[in-house]
Every structure is written in C-alpha cells, then in structure tokens.
Amino acid sequence: MKIQSAHAYKKFLRLKRPYTIARSTISNVEMVFLEVVLENGMVGIGSSSTDVEVVGESADDTLANLNQGLDDLLVGRDIRMFLGLIDEVRQIFPAQPGTQAAVDLALHDAFGKWAAIPVVDFYGRHHVQLPTSVTIGIKGVTETLAEAQEYKTLGFRVLKVKTGLDVAEDAERIVKLRERFGDYFAIRVDANTGYSIPELLTFMEQVRGLDVELVEQPLPPGNEAAIRALPGDIRRMLAADESLKNARSAIELCQGEPYGIFNIKLMKCGGICGAMEIAAIARQCDIRLFWGCNDESRASITGALHAAFACPHTRYIDLDGSLDLAEDFVAGGFILQEGIMRLPDTPGLGLRLM
C-alpha cells in the first residue's frame, strides 16, 4: 500500500487557562499537524508542539521542514516500509525533533490502520491502564488548593505541582495540599530547572515526610556532576526532563545515574521511534520511565501513551497536555475516565480528524 499524499499545516490553539512555570507563562500554543493519506483513503495523523527553549525548533521551523520536499520523500513510498521512512527523516532533520515527531506519528498511525493493529500491540503491550497526573502551575496557596479541589471533583488522583521560583512558597504549597487532602493525591513536583543544589536540598528537607513521589528536573541541564554528588535516595527521586533529549543524552545520563527516572517526551526525542530508543537504554540501567508532554493535541498524546504502554518499566505518566486545550482538531486516540488513561482496541493510533 503506497502513500498517496502528505499535507502539513499549522494551527494556533488557545489554552483553557494560562499557567506559569519557572521559565515563563503560557496562554496559547502553536501546533503543526501532518496528514498522510494512503491509496485506499486511510489517513495517518501526526502533530508537533515543541518547546523552542528546550529543543530550538519552533512551529514555523517544523512547518517549513515538512513543506520542504515532503512529497518527494513520502509520496509513492510503501507504508510497510514506515520505519525506514522515519529513519530517513531523522537523518535529513537530525536536530529537529518536532519535524521528526510529526512524520513519525503520522506514519505509525497510517501503518497501524493499514495493518489493522494498534501501535502498542505492534511493539508489545505491557500495560492496560495507568493514572495520569494533572498539572498545577506556579501560583499561590489559595489558588493551588482551589485547582486541586477541581481535579478531585473530576476524579484525578495524581497532581504534578510546578515549582522553582520561591522555595519557601513551593514547600508551603505541598504542606497545605497534604493538610487539605491528606493522602488522597499522589504528589509530584516539577521545578523546571528553577533550583540550585542548596535550594533543592532545602526543599527536600521541608517536604520530608509528605510523600512526594518525584521531583522533575530541579537544576538546569549541565549540572549533572553536582547532582551525582547528592545522596542516592534523593537521586532516585529525581527525574530528568530538560537534560534528556535523545538516545545520546540517555547514554550520558546512565553514567553515575544522576537521575533515577527518565521523563520521555516525544517532542524532545522525535516521536515513538526515538522514545523507544531511550526506553531501551533506561531499561539496561534500571531507570524508571515517566512519560510527559507539552501542551499538545490528542494526536501526539496518544502516540506517547502507546509507547508508554509498550514499555515494562513505565511507572508514571503525565499526559494531560491535550486537556489544557480549549479546542483540538483531532478526536479519538485514548480514553480518560476519572484520571485513568486507557487505549481503545482501534488500529493505528485510533485517531480521526474532527
């Protein structure tokens, strides 16, 4: 079955509400969508939503790349060779993970639909369902508690709390969450590179005994030597995010294991193929997997969930990115009920255009 056409376009999507992290405040997001159409009319859908500060690729960059000879690369090629096509794209655009991800996802979806198999089953399913965290941005204690109550009402049981601007207030928010909700929520923390080593140690001491599950990327990339000097029990709680971009950085982060957890995002590593490379490295190093996202369409969130469920050492997912959108252009993909994410038994990524 050959590819008949490929079409990329950009959409500007609003968030339901702005949120603040240690680096910036976000109120909207640009996304690039890619449709790959097979001869039989089946459509594979991919999308890209990169963090330009992390990977250096904007939505305009992605769109320009996809419009630069995509027809010559894909049209007329056999969808059964989709892994080889993805590899070709990775070689042509080695430093543009958003471009890679859009093609990777669209081709996975198209192949799975043609082969009548869910992508997760192509790789081998290890999980059926997992609870996703929902994210609370940096805000005051009162606002934090109010948003947590909203999530409790919706049935979510895992919070990821953004921190990194003020250690004392960060710790107070965790304390107040435990006082208000007891052990109802599992709590994760994401400092988005906002701490120094002394600040991290102060924070860890102030939340000791509050059952914080993990702390994501406390320091900026490049501080791994300092992190390796921390006690092992702290390092096991730390998750690499901005420091982990691809298989090469995964290999480097296995040396001395500054992080006990890898946060894999398709928009950093170029899609499902890049993610599975990182996952294989992590498994050899006994590092747990934590699957994350940016503000993204259901298309890429679903791709991440298929990859996560195909890895036995997946322990955590933070795949709430599409929930932040006021609108999307893709439907289907995953099922979310009371904070639990599942995959329907539909071919490919199970996506359809709205």
Binding residues: 190, 216, 241
Helices 298-309 and 97-115: crossing angle, nearest 10°?
70
Q: Residues at the annotated binding site for Mg(2+)?
A: 190, 216, 241
Length of the chain: 354
Structure tokens at 60: 């305009």
Would the CA dihedral through 220, 221, 223, 228 be positive or negative?
A: positive
Which is the catalytic residue, given 113, 160, 245, 265? 265
Neighbours of 24 (CB within 10 A): 10
Which is the catalytic residue, given 113, 160, 162, 268? 162
Which of these, 163, 168, 226, 233, lies nearest to 197 by C-alpha position?
Answer: 226
Would the CA dihedral through 212, 216, 220, 221 be positive or negative?
A: positive
Longest dimension (CA), the chain: 61
Buried b (16+ CB within 10 A) or exposed e, 338-352: ebebebeebbbbbbe
User: Residue 162 catalytic?
Assistant: yes
User: Residue 16 catalytic?
Assistant: no
Which of these, 232, 215, 231, 235, lies nearest to 316 by C-alpha position?
Answer: 215
Residues 6+ apart with CB under 8 A from 351: 45, 109, 298, 299, 302, 330, 331, 332, 333
Neighbours of 128 (CB within 10 A): 10
Annotated active-site positions, please? 162, 265
